[in-house]
Amino acid sequence: MQTTASRNLLSMSLPASASVAERGDAVQLHVRRDELEVVVTVPKTVHEWFVEATDALTGARTEDWCDYDGYDSTAPERLDQAMAEDVDLFVQRLLSSDLRFETGGRAKLLWKLADSWEQAVPLDESAA
């Protein structure tokens, strides 16, 4: 059974700065904005997803991932839906927000939400 999140990525309408492709047992979204590259990887049959962000100018890189299985007795259908909602929100913000990379300590990808810069990767509650 293919996850809803991976199916959603494959059917998305994307701007010129983004592309989506199947890579074996996963679907990958690549987004390039100026010197920033962000890759979102969603396995087709596992309830987890990964984000990697790289600043080509400095070589700085950050990554994170979310998984949904095995923490409680939530039904697989509900986990699938929760993951799809999280990935969809993340991707919509990624495609529509201003982005910047911050270094110093652990590298971070930031996006502008409303009038403030918020951490996108590593993932936190505002990222997904």
**pLDDT(24) > 80:** yes
**pLDDT(85) > 90:** yes
Split into its structural domains, the chain has a count of 1
pLDDT in tens, 29-72: 999 998 999 999 999 999 999 999 999 998 999 999 999 987 88
Mean pLDDT calculated for residue range 16-27: 95
**pLDDT(116) > 80:** yes
Q: Do the domain assignments include residue 112? A: yes
Q: Do the domain assignments include residue 34? A: yes
| pLDDT score, position 128 | 52
Residues near 20 by Cβ (< 8 Å), separated by ≥ 6? 9, 10, 12, 14, 27, 28, 29, 30
Other C-beta atoms lying within 10 Å of the C-beta of residue 39: 16
Show the domain range for 105: 4-121
**pLDDT(7) > 70:** yes
| Mean of the per-residue pLDDT values of the chain | 92
Q: Which two tokens stand for residue 105?
A: 């300590």
pTM of the model: 0.91
